[in-house]
């Protein structure tokens, strides 16, 4: 794929739950090899947009017929908000990560163990063999989230979708995890679509930004363009509010 190509295109996405339309004609694309952040307040429709992009709608959600989602890569790896809920409590994490990886690659357990340990070392995670034998409750949320990221790196998908990947974690861990996402993107060229309500995350991570408000796409584009010269009043207000919050 060339640098300018789009790995994901969402066009005219409208989605209703019951009688209520939650997303209204949302159109955006995710460039290959870049980090795109989808931002908006809580309830603006970020998670529903991601769910639609992944083709896993919540019960009762219906796409309007004109909605078009085109994925041009080979596979998508998703990372969710709360790492503890991404793991089964009674199975060792190494085995669970292996099961996830097998959904993407034909690989033996032995090959996987060696490969994931190498990725963990690369991400500066100590004692891979010991960690992989632990149960989820024996590890911190930050460690579980890094293991998900390590698994994402191992399978090397075309796109990683991460829905508020650092929200459940301490601020210091959030920073490290963001650094890991950046490293994955820069070193491996994996496109990342990260959902966040946190402008700190956007300024740290994004090449491109998409602003969502009440299920409507307000504006999108290069992060410097959108932040330095927001075209829409809502984006200006959102930026103002978030920078005031930071100063408090
Ligand atoms: N499964 C669901 N059933 C009913 N309403 C939902 C469901 N999921 C989300 N919603 C509603 O859709 C809107 C957008 O939700 P969501 O995409 O989760 O927002 P965000 O991720 O931006 O916080 C909200 O008003 C939310 O209450
Ligand atoms: Mg959400």
Q: Which tens digits make up the pLDDT trace of 60-102?
A: 999 999 999 999 999 999 998 888 889 999 999 999 999 999 9
The total number of residues written for the chain in this structure: 248
Range of the domain at 130: 83-157
160: CB partners within 8 A, 6+ apart = 76, 77, 78, 79, 152, 181, 184, 190, 191, 192, 193
Is 95 contained in some domain? yes
Is 6 contained in some domain? no
First to last CA, the chain: 44
The bound ligand whose nearest atom lies closest to the alpha carbon of 81 is 2
Segment 196-240, tens digit of pLDDT:
888 888 888 999 999 999 999 999 999 999 999 998 998 998 888
Task: Classify the C-alpha dihedral 42-43-49-50 as positive or negative.
Answer: positive
Is 107 contained in some domain? yes
Tokens standing for 54? 């992944």
**Count of domains observed in the chain:** 1
Q: To test the ligand 1 pocket, which listed residue (20, 22, 216) has its Cβ within 8 A of the most ligand atoms?
A: 22
Look over the chain and give the mean of its residue pLDDT values, rounded to a whole number.
Answer: 92
**pLDDT at position 247, please?**
62
Q: How far is the CA of 109 from the centre of ligand 2 (A)?
A: 34
Is 27 contained in some domain? no
Task: Report the C-alpha dihedral over residues 195, 145, 199, 55, rounded to 10 degrees.
Answer: 0
Strands 6-17 and 68-71: antiparallel
Please state the rounded mean pLDDT for residues 38-60: 94
Please state the rounded mean pLDDT for residues 33-52: 95
Distance CA 245, CA 200 (A): 11
Is the pLDDT score of 157 beyond 90?
A: yes
**pLDDT at position 246, please?**
65
Is 187 contained in some domain? no
Is 111 contained in some domain? yes
Instruction: Please compute, for residue 230, the number of CA atoms within 13 A of its CA located in the half-sphere on the CB side.
Output: 15
Is 94 contained in some domain? yes
Query: How sure is the predictor about 3, in pLDDT bands with cuts at 50, 70 and 90?
Result: very low
Q: What's this model's pTM, rounded to 2 decimal places? A: 0.92
């Amino acid at each position: 794929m060339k640098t300018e190509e789009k790995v994901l295109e969402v066009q005219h996405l409208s989605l209703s739950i019951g009688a209520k339309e939650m997303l209204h004609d949302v159109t955006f694309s995710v460039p290959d090899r870049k980090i795109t952040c989808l931002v908006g307040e809580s309830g603006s429709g970020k998670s529903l947009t991601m769910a639609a992009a992944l083709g896993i709608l919540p019960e009762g959600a219906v796409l309007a017929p004109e909605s078009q989602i085109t994925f041009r890569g080979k596979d998508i790896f998703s990372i969710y908000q709360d790492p503890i809920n991404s793991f089964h409590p009674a199975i060792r994490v190494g085995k669970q990560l292996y099961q996830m990886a097998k959904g993407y690659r034909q690989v033996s357990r032995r090959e996987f163990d060696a490969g994931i340990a190498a990725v963990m070392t690369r991400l500066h995670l100590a004692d891979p063999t010991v960690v992989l034998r632990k149960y989820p409750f024996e590890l911190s949320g930050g460690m579980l989230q890094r293991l998900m990221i390590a698994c994402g790196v191992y399978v090397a998908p075309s796109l990683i979708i991460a829905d508020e990947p650092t929200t459940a974690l301490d601020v210091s861990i959030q920073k490290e995890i963001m650094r890991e996402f950046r490293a994955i993107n820069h070193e491996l060229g994996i496109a990342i679509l990260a959902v966040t309500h946190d402008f700190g995350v956007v300024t740290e991570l994004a090449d491109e930004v998409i602003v969502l408000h009440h299920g409507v796409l307000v504006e999108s584009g290069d992060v410097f363009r959108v932040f330095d010269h927001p075209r829409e009043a809502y984006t200006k207000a959102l930026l103002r509010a978030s920078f005031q919050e930071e100063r408090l």
